[in-house]
Amino acid sequence: MVQSKAATVDEWLDGLPASDRLIFERLRAACREELAGWEERMQWGMPGYGPPGQDNAVSFNAQKRHIAIYVGPTAIERSQEQLAGIDCGKGCVRYRNAGQVDFAVVRAMLRDIRARGGPMC
């Protein structure tokens, strides 16, 4: 896993190649909208969002060969049909390129996580 030493999400975004920045700005905007009231912070070397005072429930990162969105196993299980053909791990969705990211599915997973209060609830 690629981890950043950036102190803020803005600093993390500034460190991305210009070609990658737009997709991560869109992911950030989706998280800020769907997880309003949750804290945005750098944790585990990547941008993430969690309820105040708790660890991140959602994170994303620029990996060497994919865009990773960490949403937990429940969100992935509940979105299996919509994620067909996308590489998923136990709690991570891995998109090979920005064109694979379906923001309707991402937003649905974010809303589901928020409704449950976190990835494992």
> Which H or E run includes 49?
strand 46-50
Q: Is 75 exposed, middle or buried (0-12, 13-18, 19+ CB in 10 A)?
A: buried
The domains of the chain, with CATH numbers, are 9-116 (3.90.1150.200)
Residues 13/25, Cβ–Cβ less than 8 Å: yes
Q: What is the pTM of this model?
A: 0.90
* Tens-place pLDDT, residues 57-112: 999 999 888 999 999 999 999 999 999 999 999 999 999 999 999 999 999 999 99
Count Cβ atoms below 10 Å from residue 12 Cβ, excluding itself: 21
